[in-house]
Each structure stands twice: as structure tokens, then as C-alpha cells.
């Protein structure tokens, strides 16, 4: 009962803070919430853990905002904050929430998920036989973690497939080599960026400098496919390498501190050489910033498929009970003023992946092959 009173007090405080003098209709809704809880306690057929039910109510309120906002109770929040490197294995996928189930944003290259054939856009409906519906994103991610070498069974739904697909995967420590670089035929420099971690831009500029000093390529391909994003600062740095000036992006939120604009510094590090950026449905967040900004400045031809459409910034905010919330606090806007959220970046040249045999950076990679053909004249 104490927790119910606390929740109702929080609701009153929230609505008062948000609207000043609380609207009478909102007070009635709060009363209704208390009435429903009382009915459940007295009349529901089975005993109910009221604490869990209230956690679900809080989480439901946050998830109604967008797929990326969620609640973490004290125990879960502590786990998320704790560095468990080396203790737990993962699958190598970036996920979001959509329609109450987990949607794969992107499988990361050379990880258990990508090797098992998980694809961007897949919906995870069961984890080890347990329904995902009704669980928060953070809870589902926790279910997918486990000891290195342990097995996990994912049941997925895929667009175009009538039956559910089961994938048995063995968890591994996920170690991502952020940058892959090589010279292709016709002296085309190929740069594949797999994530935007704290070292990505430093690794990328090292490879660019090596190319410019030794190989002197005539053109570049920047491959952002299946790159789920990462640090905003890294996206800005990477974009800056290919621009001579101009705005890279802006962020806008309710608080003044969230309203910022970011500009390129003088000096295109590849000296204006022709550039193609490869994208697909697994390109999200920071990847979309880079592709969208270079497209807006007409600095690159963007080729592939429409990107995921995650154009928002989340903050993790601690709460007084030891838990926390992940809350969307601002959105990204491209130099043109366009928001990436839910619409993504559309390619200048649309090339769909060529069927089940398709694999990035192999002979079956029709998108990369088309880019090479374009740059070869």
C-alpha cells in the first residue's frame, strides 16, 4: 500500500510540475488509477505482486512515449550500471522496442547473431521459449545476456516469412573491430565502419592518412551498413573528415541544454575525392547522421536501402528508489532541417540486397559491386 501511495504522489507531482495547476481531469485519472489498483487487489482471481504490477505500470507509461524510453527497477538498474566485462556473453545485436516486441535494429558483423543469420528488421517474439510481449526493452536485453558459451534460443518473425524462425545461438564476448580498411580494384579505398565507439574516429583517420600517404586512392567508399550507431561525438568527427565546412547536425529538446548545433572544421581529409556511402536497414542513429549530413551537403552519393530511422538521444536518469529511467531528451536534425526519426535516410540510388545468399563485402555483395562500378566509370 505504501508503494501505491508513493506512485500516486509521484503522478500528482509530475502533473503539477508539467502543467502548473493540475488539471481536474488529470486528478480524476489519478483517482481512477488508484481505484483500478484497489479492484485488482480485492477481486482479481490470483494473488498479485503489487510491486511488480506498479513497475509494469511505470514502464508502460514510458514505453507509450517511444520505443526507446523505459524504466529500470533498482536491481536491474544496478546491473546495468555495473561493469560486467568478461563475465557475461552477448549475441552482437542492437535492438529496439516496437509494438511490444523486440525489433532488431542491426546485427553486428562477425558476432554470434550475424553468423546465425539474424537480420535487421527481424522481430524477436520469444527468448528461450518465454514470450517477450509485455516485457521492457531492458528486461529483454537482460534475458539475452548470459555466461560465455551458454546457449540461447530466439524465436523470430521476419517480413515475408509465414512461419516463425528459430535460431539457436551460443553467447560470446563481443569484441568489435570498429574499422576495416583495404584498397579495392581501380585504386578505390574501402572503409567499413562497424560501430561508433570511443576509438572509431581515431581508427578511421589513421586508415585515411595511411591511404593518402601510401596508396593515394582516386575515390572512397564508406560502408555504414549494419552499423547500429553509438557515440554522437564520433559521428560528428567522422562526418567532419569528409567536409570542408558547414553544419553537420543540430539537436533539439525541451531543455535549453539539449539545443545544440555542430559544424565541420576547415579541411576535407580526403581532398574532395569522389565518395559513396553504403547504407541499409541496419544503419541507425550515428550512421544516419553521417550519411544524411554528407548527402545534404552533396558531398557523397548515398547508395543502398533506407536506414532504420532512430534519430533521438536518450539519457539514463537515476531515481530516488535506486532505479532509473532511460528517457528520450532530444532529437537529431540534419543540415536540411529534416528529422531522421522514424523516416531514416533515403538513398540517392536504391539497391536492395540480392536475396538470402547476400553477404556484406563478399562476391555476393551487389551493393558494393554497384558502388565499385559507379566509381570505376
CA distance 56 to 53: 5
All structural domains of the chain, each given as residue ranges with its CATH number in brackets, are 2-74 (no CATH), 79-170 (2.30.42.10), 179-376 (3.90.226.10)
Q: Please, where are the H alpha helices in 211-343?
A: 232-241, 286-296
CA distance 232 to 76: 26
Residues 328, 313: contact at Cβ < 8 Å? yes
**What does pLDDT average to over the chain?**
87
pLDDT confidence band for 137 (50 / 70 / 90): confident
pLDDT higher than 60, residue 323: yes
- Per-residue pLDDT, 85: 37
pLDDT tens digits along 107-122:
888 889 989 999 988 9
CA distance 277 to 314: 26
pLDDT confidence band for 22 (50 / 70 / 90): low
Q: What global pTM score does this model have?
A: 0.80
pLDDT tens digits along 269-295:
999 999 999 999 999 999 999 999 999
pLDDT tens digits along 145-195:
888 999 999 999 998 889 999 999 999 988 778 899 999 999 999 999 998
- Per-residue pLDDT, 97: 82
pLDDT tens digits along 198-209:
899 999 999 999
| Residues marked as catalytic | 285, 296, 310
Amino acid at each position: 500500500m505504501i508503494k501505491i501511495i508513493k506512485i500516486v504522489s509521484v503522478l500528482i507531482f509530475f502533473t503539477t510540475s508539467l502543467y502548473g495547476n493540475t488539471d481536474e481531469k488529470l486528478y480524476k485519472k489519478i483517482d481512477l488509477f488508484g481505484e483500478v489498483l484497489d479492484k485488482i487487489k480485492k477481486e482479481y482471481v490470483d494473488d498479485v505482486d503489487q510491486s511488480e504490477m506498479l513497475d509494469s505500470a511505470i514502464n508502460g507509461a514510458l514505453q507509450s512515449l517511444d520505443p526507446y524510453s523505459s524504466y529500470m527497477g533498482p536491481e536491474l538498474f544496478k546491473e546495468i550500471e555495473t561493469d560486467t566485462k568478461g563475465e557475461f556473453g552477448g549475441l552482437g545485436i542492437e535492438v529496439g522496442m516496437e509494438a511490444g516486441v523486440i525489433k532488431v535494429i542491426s546485427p553486428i558483423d562477425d558476432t554470434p547473431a550475424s553468423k546465425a543469420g539474424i537480420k535487421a528488421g527481424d522481430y524477436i517474439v520469444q527468448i528461450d521459449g518465454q514470450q517477450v510481449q509485455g516485457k521492457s526493452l531492458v528486461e529483454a536485453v537482460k534475458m539475452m545476456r548470459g555466461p560465455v558459451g551458454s546457449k540461447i534460443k530466439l524465436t523470430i518473425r521476419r517480413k515475408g516469412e509465414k512461419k516463425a524462425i528459430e535460431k539457436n545461438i551460443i553467447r560470446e564476448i563481443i569484441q568489435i573491430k570498429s574499422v576495416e580498411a583495404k584498397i579495392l580494384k581501380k585504386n578505390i579505398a574501402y572503409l567499413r565502419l562497424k560501430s561508433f565507439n570511443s576509438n572509431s574516429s581515431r581508427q578511421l583517420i589513421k586508415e585515411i592518412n595511411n591511404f593518402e600517404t601510401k596508396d593515394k586512392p582516386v575515390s572512397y567508399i564508406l560502408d555504414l551498413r549494419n552499423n547500429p550507431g553509438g557515440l554522437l561525438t564520433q559521428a560528428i568527427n567522422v562526418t567532419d573528415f569528409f567536409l570542408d565546412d558547414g553544419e553537420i547536425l543540430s539537436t533539439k529538446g525541451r531543455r535549453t541544454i539539449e539545443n545544440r548545433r555542430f559544424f565541420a572544421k576547415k579541411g576535407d581529409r580526403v581532398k574532395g575525392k569522389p565518395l559513396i556511402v553504403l547504407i541499409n536497414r541496419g544503419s541507425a542513429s550515428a550512421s544516419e547522421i553521417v550519411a544524411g549530413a554528407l548527402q545534404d551537403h552533396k558531398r557523397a552519393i548515398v547508395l543502398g536501402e533506407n536506414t532504420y530511422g532512430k534519430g533521438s538521444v536518450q539519457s539514463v536518469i537515476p531515481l530516488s528508489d535506486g532505479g532509473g529511467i532511460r528517457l528520450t531528451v532530444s532529437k537529431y536534425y540534419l543540415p536540411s532541417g529534416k528529422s531522421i526519426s522514424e523516416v531514416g535516410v533515403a538513398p540517392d540510388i536504391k539497391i536492395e540486397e540480392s536475396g538470402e545468399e547476400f553477404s556484406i563485402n563478399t562476391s555476393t555483395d551487389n551493393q558494393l559491386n554497384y558502388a565499385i562500378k559507379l566509381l570505376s566509370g
